[in-house]
Amino acid sequence: MTHSSGSMTARRDFLKLSGIVGGGFVLGISFADAADGPVANAAFEPNAFLQISRDGITIMATQPEIGQGVKTAMPMIVAEELDVAWADVRIVQSPIDAKRYGMQFAGGSTATPRCWDPLRKAGATARVMLMQAAAQRWNVPLTECRTEAGAVIHESGKTLRYVELAEAAARLPVPAPDAVSLKNRSAYKLLGTRVPGVDTPRIVRGEPLFAIDTVLPEMVYAVYVKGEAIGAKPISANVDELRRLPGVIDVFLIEGNGDLAELKPGVAIIARSTWAAFKARKSLRVTWDDAGASTDDWEQAKKAAAARAGTLETVTDRGEVDRALASAHRVVSADYRYAFLSHAQLEPHSVTARMNADGGIELWAPMQMPQRAIPMVAKLLAIPESAVTLHQMRVGGGFGRRLMNDFCCEAAAIARRIKTPVKLQWTREDDMRNDFLRAGGFHSLKGGLDASGRPIVWQNHFVTFTADGKKPVTGGDLKAEADLSQLIANFRLTRTQLPWLSPCGPWRAPGSNVFAFALQSFLHEMSVAAGRDHLSFLLDLLGESRWLVDGNRNALHTGRAAAVLKLAADKGGWGRRLPKGRGLGLAFYFSHAGHVAEVAEVSVDAGKRIRVHKVTVAADVGPVINLSGAEAQCQGSVVDGLSAMAAQRLTHVRGRVVETNFDRYPLLRMSAAPSVDVHFVASDFAPTGLGEPALPPLAPAICNAVFAATGQRIRSLPIAEEGYSIV
């Protein structure tokens, strides 16, 4: 790739290197203006991810940090290929800029696979250009130079630090992508090691990193009250009475824009403090129009599911299911169900918005998909997208909830009205009542075994929910390829969809988090009925090592699945004898391109109190970037999954959420957290993220262990519905 050597009108020129991130990313190259001569202290910006100047080396963290560790892990990739000591780099959260950074979002465990190659090329490109600059200064062949710890070293022993070469490197043409070689895994010095989170010291010190910490001059505070039934509209409210309360600035109704994922109707209360706004809210009286609002009811849904109400759809029908069931040596059947859930992130939604004199708006928000918020806010305010500026704050928990930007729309609508900086603060009750739920569901399963105990037929009737009468809600769309059951020759998946208006959305490992419970538990039921060891049963089902879809990195690989099953079984002590009332459970699930198996060791007393002593996790997610971060994600998945399966559920009565705070929606106590032992298969497969794959196998592993300990099968989540508790 070459650049024009003619006169330039600015000190910076930007070259595009296409085919790296989405449609390409911008290379920020510093050149000397022909008229001005060399730029003093010119910054070397070989690409949007990296800046090197005499002041040091800065790597941009381009993806939202929601606790999954990308603010540390992604810059580590650049630092590895750049060949710089981690202690010598500074990490900065990048601006939201699709042109420079491509897609910026946290969700689907995609940050690692999306950024892996681009970030490696970013670091490697910079390293090559710095070596070229050193070779030119020394007047030596490039082949006589190498790099180490942020310096170029000549074979004679001469050394130049990167910061000394920044200005010279900034004037070099950018090498073509195919001219830059990447390191082999055996040469890694940083990747695969344990690196503390870059924000950890600031978090420990209580520094303001989160949206809820934002403070602007002359800022006021707001709460936004929406109807308890989703879609309810305010007709009138005692606004004049509230305006007279101490600290209250204004109270007004907002119509909404007709989209429940953007701006719901409600009442805004503006005050001089959060306390004043919350206190005024207690005196608010609203007349709501419930016509067209949600009437969702969980008990009614359970009855409809039992009656198989609705139209039966055939999703997949392969082989001769009916004949295989009729001829099976043994037939096993069971019904499973799981409730709706809230995301229950620790930090309730908090957004600060400021309308600027030029008609533009700035928002400080905890977003998982900030680039989606820009057009939403621009449309709502009828301003150009270029007039919307987003400041990405560290997210105090997301789990998929902050992929939705309704809270940003609310803050924008309020800021437009009052014209001063305003912080919108949701309460826990706001979060629980206005969540995008993890979908509930029901499975009627039937399987057949031949005389040797091998599965020959699988049938699953899945009852899910729909908002539009056409397609399932997010997280409620079970695909035929979602589980090992797809490997059974005679396979049928049918579906019924029940109406549900309350919005559903991605919840950590969407779909997989509950499908694994039903499908992997039932596979265990089949292996028990066959009288076979469950590990042997699963390995036999996997068969020879192969991709189920050639060339698709998102497809299951049976060899990788077998490897993690064997590793989990070995490290978890599978097959050892345990005392009465204690058992081991094994489960595998393929989720978000990650292959994960888990062994749970539990004990159960006469009062159905379950103690989870240990969970062993074995994962193949390709190269591990930050070992401590990867371990933490697996440990967090186990704790999060255990908390959810224990007693959490969101039930609705006439469209209204019953569980509106943690008194009715309990979180797992620290005393109940198990020991979690994490192991990784060292593989050279394309990497994937770890925010989600380790959660789905947890519930079936626990429930299979409970069966091993007691002979009793759990078929409902949360397990509290069957009288069990985690202690």
The one-character DSSP state at 87 is G
Backbone angles phi, psi at 516, to 5 degrees: -60, -40
Domain stop point among 190, 220, 250: 190
Residues 6+ apart with CB under 8 A from 208: 214, 215
Dihedral of the alpha carbons of 107, 108, 113, 119, in degrees to the nearest 10: 0
Whether residue 586 sits in one domain with residue 497:
yes
Looking at the structure, do residues 489 and 567 belong to the same domain, yes or no? yes
pLDDT attached to residue 102: 85
pLDDT of residue 44: 67
Q: What angle do CA 533, 536, 539 make, to 5 degrees?
A: 150
Q: Domain limits at 515? A: 308-341+437-726
By DSSP bridging, strand 441-449 and strand 330-338 are antiparallel
**Is residue 670 located within the same domain as residue 581?**
yes
Taking phi first (over 0 means left), then psi (-120 to 50 degrees means alpha), and beta for anything else, what does residue 218 get?
Answer: left
Residues 611, 668, single domain; the answer is yes
Contact indicator for 518, 482 with CB cutoff of 8 Å:
no
Does 30 share its domain with 163?
A: yes
* Residue 660 shares a structural domain with residue 682: yes
Distances (CA, A) of 93 to 12, 38, 58, 293, 394: 22, 29, 10, 40, 9
Coil, strand or helix: which one is 289? strand
Residue 705's SS3 state is helix
Pair 502, 612 in one domain: yes
Q: Evaluate whether residue 68 is within a structural domain.
A: yes
What's the whole-model pTM score? 0.92
Tokens standing for residue 445: 């399963």
Residue 401 lies in a domain: yes
- Domain shared by 170 and 238, yes or no: no
CA-nearest of 465, 463, 475, 462 to 500 is: 465
Q: Of 190, 222, 246, which residue constitutes the final position of a domain?
A: 190
Together in a domain, 662 and 601: yes
Residue 4 in any domain: the answer is: no
Q: Is residue 1 part of a domain?
A: no
State whether 566 and 529 are in the same domain. Answer: yes
For residue 595, the domain's CATH number is 3.30.365.10
Q: Is residue 7 part of a domain?
A: no
Residue 195 lies in a domain: no
3-state secondary structure 666-689: CCCCHHHCCEEEEEECCCCCCCCC
- Adjacent-strand bridge partners of 220: 422
3-state secondary structure 391-455: EECECCCCCCHHHCCHHHHHHHHHHHHHCCCEEEECCHHHHHHCCCEECCEEEEEEEEECCCCCE
Q: Do 255 and 138 fall within a single domain? A: no
Tell me what pLDDT residue 42 has: 59
Is residue 663 situated within a structural domain? yes
- Give the amino acid at 38: P
Task: Find the Cα–Cα–Cα–Cα dihedral 451, 454, 457, 458, rounded to 10°.
Answer: 130
Q: Residue 479: CB partners within 8 Å, gap ≥ 6?
A: 315
| Burial class of 452 by CB neighbour count within 10 A (0 to 12, 13 to 18, 19+) | exposed
Structure-token pair, residue 83: 């060949």
Q: Domain for residue 204, yes or no?
A: no
Q: How many domains does the chain have?
A: 3
pLDDT along the chain (727 residues), means of 10: 31 29 27 32 68 88 95 97 96 90 91 92 92 97 97 98 90 85 94 97 95 97 97 97 98 96 97 98 98 96 92 96 98 98 96 96 97 97 97 96 98 96 98 98 98 98 96 96 92 97 97 98 98 98 92 87 98 97 98 97 98 98 97 98 98 97 97 98 92 98 98 98 98
Class of residue 667 by CB neighbours under 10 A (exposed 0-12, middle 13-18, buried 19+): middle
Q: Which residues pair with 365 in a beta bridge?
A: 392
Q: DSSP assignment, residue 515?
A: H
Residue 458 shares a structural domain with residue 605: yes
Which of 377, 397, 425 terminates a domain? The answer is: 425
Predicted local confidence at residue 5, as pLDDT: 33
Q: What is the 3-state composition of the chain as percent helix, strand, coil, each rounded to the nearest 5? A: 30, 25, 40
